[in-house]
Amino acid sequence: MAVGVRLAFALASRGGDASGGWVLARTRLDTGAKAAGWLRGEALRLAVRLDPGPRTRWAAPGTLHPARDPGPDAPTALRAWAEDRQRQARVRHLLAHGRALSFHFPDQGGAWYSLAAVPVPHPLRKAGETRMTETVPSTPPRCQAAGNVTPYVAEMAVNVTRAPGGPPRTTVRCALAPHLTFEHEGIVRELDGAEGHVWGSFGAGVPVWRVRVARACTGQAGHRPCGLYADHPGACVPARTDAPATP
C-alpha cells in the first residue's frame, strides 16, 4: 500500500452580516474525532453567548428578555445541530474520511454564523517517528458555495472588457478549494481564447458584488493560494470544474 498523507483539520467559527464576516474562533486539531468534538462544542458555546438562559450570572438583572420576532434563529439552530445525535455521527463519519465540512446558521436581521472544518496536511514528523497512512480522496474537494448574479452585475461583466465571450451566468459556483474566508470566487463569464474569465466575488447569502478580468486558474487544489491575483483567498480546483451551479 502506498504511503498516503496524514490529515489534520483547520477549524473555525465565523459570524457576520451583509457587510462582511469575522473569525470568532480558530484552531487546528490532528484527528477527525477531535475536530467533530470542537465543532459541537463551538456550536454550543455560540448558542449560549447569543441566547443565554434567564439565570445567567454574568448578565445584570433586566439585561436579558425574550425575543419573539419572526425569522431565523441561529442560537436555537446551533443547539439543535449540536444535540442531534444522528447529525453528529454523520459529522464524525465524514471527518474520519477526510471530508471538508461547513455549516451555516442564519440569524435575524441578515446576520449569520458558520462552522467549518477543512482537511490540511499534517505537519511532518521528526526523523525516526513512525509515519501514519491515510487514504486521501483522489478528487480534490471544492467549496460548495454558490452565488446569484444580479442583472446589474451581469451588465458589469459584459462591460468590464472588450474581449468576446459567452453570456454572463445567472448563478456561479465557488471555484476554490474549501477555505475559511468569507469571500468566495466564481466565474461569471467565460471569455474566448486565452483571454481568461470575468471572475466575481460573493459571500454567504450575498450576490456577486465585484467583478474582475483574470486569466484562467490552472493551479490544482492545494494548500496555498494559486496566485490568481494578490488577495486571492485560497487554492483553485482543477480546470473545468467551474461549471455553473445551475444549467
Q: 118-155, pLDDT tens digit by residue?
A: 988 765 544 444 444 444 444 456 778 888 999 999 99
Considering the chain, what is the average pLDDT of its residues?
75
pLDDT more than 90, % of the chain? 21
Q: Which range has highest mean pLDDT (14-18, 41-45, 80-84, 208-212)?
A: 80-84
Which pLDDT does position 232 carry in this prediction?
53
Residue 77's CB: how many other CB atoms inside 10 A? 18
pTM, rounded to two decimals: 0.49
Amino acid in the structure at residue 223: H
Measured distance CA(210)–CA(215) in Å, rounded: 16
Which pLDDT does position 117 carry in this prediction?
92
Measured distance CA(198)–CA(160) in Å, rounded: 8
Q: 171-229, pLDDT tens digit by residue?
A: 988 887 776 666 778 889 988 877 778 888 887 677 888 888 877 665 433 334 455 55
Q: Is residue 244 over pLDDT 80?
A: no
Measured distance CA(151)–CA(155) in Å, rounded: 6
Quote the cell numbers at residue 187. Answer: 466565474
